[in-house]
Copies of this chain bind each other. A is one copy, B any other.
Amino acid sequence: MHRPDPFDAKCPTRQVLDRIGDRWAVLILISLEQRTMRFNELRRRIEAISQKMLSQTLKSLERDGLVNRKVFATVPVTVEYSLTPLGRTLSQTVHALTLWAETHIGEVAQAQQRYDQGEAAPETATTPPR
């Protein structure tokens, strides 16, 4: 077995990372973690998302085996989206990330303020490295 190297652009691990990078994908995962939803339900839930991005993102999530798409032949047609078991494991991992965000957002905000103010006071460190 070769160990995956996210620094190699060809590494599939990188592709997964890129998926996480998709903000819409993350929001969809979080939504579906709570319960199965229909297309327009998701649309209302996420609010800012355009219908194009929603259908597009759902499609790629389905392709990755993270989301189930179930069509019911009602009139008009009904489509239910839910997490697959695989998708559930991912959404839990992502949850750890949102937890970090909620916990440390204050520190980040403070750091930003300090940085933005202190632009006039450039620390002149002078000690040589070695």
Q: Which residue of B lies closest to A63 (CB)?
A: B115
Question: Which residue of B is nearest A93, CB measured?
Answer: B100
- Residue contact B12 to A109, C-beta cutoff 8 Å: yes
- Chain B residues within an 8 Å CB radius of A71: 123-125
Q: Is the CB of A107 within 8 A of B86?
A: yes
Against B, the Cβ 8 Å flags (1 = close, 0 = not) of A10-40 are 0011111110111100110011000000000
Chain B residue at smallest Cβ distance from A4: B102
Q: What residues make up the interface of A, taking CB atoms closer than 8 Å to B?
A: 3-4, 6-7, 9, 12-18, 20-23, 26-27, 30-31, 45-48, 62-66, 70-74, 78, 80, 86, 89-90, 93-94, 96-98, 100-102, 104-105, 107-112, 114-116, 123-129
